[in-house]
Structure 1
């Protein structure tokens, strides 16, 4: 652990020092996520909290991005039992659970929202296979849900992979996402979220990808104003619990947690409906420098033609378990 990361973790531990009881005994549960106030994960967390507190005597303390460190810090704290619940995207979980990187195979997932939602509701891979993978890492997977279509922002307009050549594009610390942008022709540059705005502002990097609501919330359009809709995937996240904590709960509390997770899922699906359009409207209203490029089918085909090498890399990284998961993903999508 480097010094900076160690200091962040110590800060997080200090912030939780008042809660000395074990997770299984705690009436005040602790939940951390990766986003800001009002963002999708924050809305999900508060809907979860509302259900828990309405239907029990338990209370829930929510920690937003930066309050306990970055994504890797809150995962470590959850695995250690300091936090009871954590919301973390597969972009970061991929280092812990390589198969979770499947969401970064470009053009695997549909971009139509109704199909995306149906997939998350009905997919065997999502609802049966993934919980077993998380269980192996001491985590109880409670819910996976979509946040929004991924959008690339750049320092200039682009419609072809060739125009991404020599562009340093920030990626999460995720090997498969790096492979995706290498395939697209760019130079993938892993950076923690806290450094992205400044890196764009100083031209250390020339682009990044995120859902449009996060581009608006984080002000990324201010320093990376060219928005490119490539249709290559949706941002997915996962809400989970420390497994020892969860397994130590009485049956009535386990049922409560499951119902709260399901309730928050339904609420978040309603919340993200139209969210991208509302966020884009705010962006274009706030800046006259923003450009919006939506690739047509022929332009998308040039990017899609490079996707198979990412799929091959995923199988190389994950072996038989990854191949089986990918086959199930494709079958689930076909069944839609």
Structure 2
């Protein structure tokens, strides 16, 4: 009897050991629309994380503000009701104000530099900020997305900050954007992305700034006539996760997820670079006038005024900017 019972217990132990770990299902939210690079990134990353972890981690993506706007999404990740999300680094500024520096205008040489400066594994500036995010907000940045350079769209010609003087211009509802739009010479008017087409159509704002992918995917050519190719920001988004959720994952799963997100970041850079010329042609075909330096666009004037405004409003950014600019 004892031998039989012992065999049963041994068999049960082997069976339990052989059982796969319970799958961890993560809800991943963002505000990007269909057709945007960030939407493609999230969908492909979700599929590749499930494959890389052999189903131990599954990710369900909720795009286009399905789980709320930026504030609701970030708050949800903090609380853990949403496990993952992505948006501009500045969306995490309610926890650590200096994280906004990674969205500061005119600080990156190009898209490759932006990705290097925001690599959670190698960027000293981001590692320092990440420690504060974990400690003060319970959130960790684990990846990033490159969406392309941000440009100004409007319903009139814009060649210098003087052309925007006193005009209501959409600002992402974050302090950094309000400061930047002030540097543009315009009157900052916070508008959530889901409300942007209506705000432009009704004249609540007369212009906005975003990567060409967003301008195209949101059909802003229907409510805007011009695009000024200012390239004032290299649009790089933070991918972040609830810290408790992250720590509940095995080290193997963490490494697999990180590997997927790093590879997708590099792919997003390629997508953005390959698509910009095509998007310019597409917007032109749709009736928009594209303004470049050859047409008299004064990017130096924008750079000078915007950086003066940012430096005055956010003096604590300077050490981080120096670290960012030093990255090869």
The alpha-carbon deviation at position 194 of structure 1 amounts to 1.8
Q: Which residue of 1 aligns with 2:71?
A: 72
User: C-alpha distance in 1, partners of 2:67/2:118?
Assistant: 29
**Aligned-partner Cα distance in 2 for 1:64–1:231:** 26
**1:143-292 pair list within 5 angstroms:** 143-285=143-285, 287-288=286-287, 290-292=288-290
| Residue 35 of structure 1: aligned partner | 32
Q: Which runs of 4+ in 1 moved over 4 A?
A: none
Shift of 1:105: 3.3
Query: Displacement, 1:208?
Result: 0.5
Closer, same or farther: CA 300–38 of 1 in aligned 2, 3 Å = closer
**Pair 169,96 (structure 1): closer, same or farther in 2 beyond 3 Å:** farther
5+ residue gaps, structure 2: 1-20
TM, length-normalised to structure 2: 0.84
Change (3 A) 1:27 1:298: closer
**Given the alignment of the two structures, is residue 52 of structure 1 paired with residue 44 of structure 2, yes or no?**
no
* TM-score (norm: length of structure 1): 0.82
Bigger radius of gyration, 1 or 2?
2
Q: CA separation of 1:205/1:38 partners in 2, compared to 1, >3 Å: closer, same or farther?
A: closer
Please tell me the root mean square deviation across aligned C-alpha atoms, in Å: 2.2
SS at match of 1:62: strand
Task: Say which SS state the counterpart of residue 145 (structure 2) adopts.
Answer: strand
The answer on whether the counterparts of 1:47 and 1:267 sit within 8 Å (CA) in structure 2 is no
Match of 1:4 in 2: none
Shift of 1:118: 4.2
Change (3 A) 1:332 1:310: closer
Residues 6-155 of structure 1 mapped to structure 2, 5 A cutoff = 27-55=24-52, 56-57=54-55, 58-110=57-109, 112-121=110-119, 123-126=123-126, 128-135=127-134, 136-155=136-155
Q: C-alpha offsets along residues 182-215 of structure 1, whole Å, 9 cap, x if unaligned?
A: 1221101001112211111111211001011000
Give the unaligned 5+ runs of structure 1.
Answer: 1-23, 316-321
Rounded to whole Å, the distance in 2 between the matches of 1:43 and 1:244 is 27
CA contact (8 A) 1:169 1:189 kept: yes
Conserved 8 A contact 2:83-2:242:
yes
Name the SS of the counterpart of 1:233 in structure 2.
strand
Compared CA separation, residues 332 and 191, structure 1 to 2 (3 A): closer
Equivalent pairs, count: 301
Q: Secondary structure at the match of 1:169?
A: strand
